[in-house]
A and B are shown apart, each in its own frame.
Chain A
């Protein structure tokens, strides 16, 4: 009995099938992503709260290098979602060569995103931004900026590691296409969160 059939009908006479008709692993990932979405939501709401409550909130992001860097990072991350879709599809078709190419493209793009992000951080740190101080205004700017982008960066780095581990397991035959798909869900979620981080954290704080 396949994993899909087991999810729909149950794997035995005494087992009820999943009401969602998906494997437990995938449902678990969905539940994790929902809780993660709420965590990011709380961070973004806290940022909005502090920004609104501060009269001297800094708007330090120049088009070059910050916003230009963010544009490149966004392009890289959305493109990595596309290559991840290719990896999931190739894994389902059992094409290990194609899966490897797509997964390593995703891993490379994820690592590139992380490198660009760290470069952005160093740029701000060089300008004097710290967790609880900066040269421009509200001292909470650094705390919210580094917390939100740091949490996202942590997710990207975790995703790159997870993709590498899953790729290794898949090519060795210890992990399945289902594992690739579940990791793909996580990767797309990282992309989804970035869609909120860019406008709220960067574009609302551009230097005019």
Chain B
């Protein structure tokens, strides 16, 4: 079996860079916005939420366009992404413990 092709078809455009420039500029814009917001007077908690939201947007763009997940079968997306998000969300279980440490009550409930 020869290996000359792959699933994602090559662009018919002579300049594939131009095709992805909008995503590229949005990602740069998100990074610039994050730096701008970092120097505003937001609380750390508010900044964390904003940063996470912007990072998730940037990651989704990179995942769907740069990594071509949008062009794959939906089954690939459904097999990979929800499970990953679930595992990451489950890591939130540790936060209550960090709060316990903050108050220097190592044996508190």
Which of B4, B28, B52, B84 meets A75, CB within 8 Å?
A: B28
**Residue contact A192 to B91, C-beta cutoff 8 Å:** no
**What are the residues of chain A within 8 A of B38 when measuring CB–CB?**
67, 199, 203-204, 206
CB A104 to nearest CB in B, in angstroms, measures 15
**What are the residues of chain B within 8 A of A204 when measuring CB–CB?**
38, 44, 47-48, 51
Interface residues of B in 54-106 (CB under 8 A from A): 54-55, 58-59, 62-63, 66-67, 72-73, 75-76, 79-80, 83-84, 87-88, 91-92, 94-95, 97-99, 101-102
CB A27 to nearest CB in B, in angstroms, measures 8
Chain A residue at minimum C-beta to C-beta distance from B63: A192
Asked if A38 is at the interface (CB within 8 A of a chain B CB), the reply is yes
**Residue contact B51 to A199, C-beta cutoff 8 Å:** yes
Distance, CA A42 to CA B93, complexed state (A): 12
Interface, chain B (partner A; CB < 8 A) = 1-11, 16-17, 20-21, 24, 27-28, 30-31, 34-35, 38-39, 44, 47-48, 51-52, 54-55, 58-59, 62-63, 66-67, 72-73, 75-76, 79-80, 83-84, 87-88, 91-92, 94-95, 97-99, 101-102
**What are the residues of chain B within 8 A of A206 when measuring CB–CB?**
38-39
**Residue contact A181 to B48, C-beta cutoff 8 Å:** no
**What are the residues of chain A within 8 A of B59 when measuring CB–CB?**
192, 195-196
**Residue contact B1 to A1, C-beta cutoff 8 Å:** yes
Which of B5, B17, B39, B76 meets A82, CB within 8 Å?
A: B17
Known: A21-B73, A78-B24, A82-B20. A199 touches B34 (CB 8 A): yes
**What are the residues of chain B within 8 A of A11 when measuring CB–CB?**
1
Fill in one digit per residue for A38-58: 1 if any B CB lies within 8 Å of its CB, else 0.
100110010011101111000
Interface residues of A in 59-117 (CB under 8 A from B): 63, 67, 71, 74-75, 78-79, 81-86, 89-90, 92-94
Distance, CA A6 to CA B6, complexed state (A): 10
Chain B residue at minimum C-beta to C-beta distance from A95: B10
Chain B residue at minimum C-beta to C-beta distance from A203: B38
**What are the residues of chain A within 8 A of B58 when measuring CB–CB?**
192, 195
Interface, chain A (partner B; CB < 8 A) = 1-4, 6-7, 11, 19-23, 26-27, 30-31, 34, 37-38, 41-42, 45, 48-50, 52-55, 63, 67, 71, 74-75, 78-79, 81-86, 89-90, 92-94, 176-178, 181, 185, 188-189, 191-192, 195-196, 198-200, 203-204, 206
Provide the main secondary structure of the chain A interface: helix
**Residue contact A176 to B44, C-beta cutoff 8 Å:** no
**What are the residues of chain B within 8 A of A192 when measuring CB–CB?**
58-59, 62-63, 67
CB A182 to nearest CB in B, in angstroms, measures 9
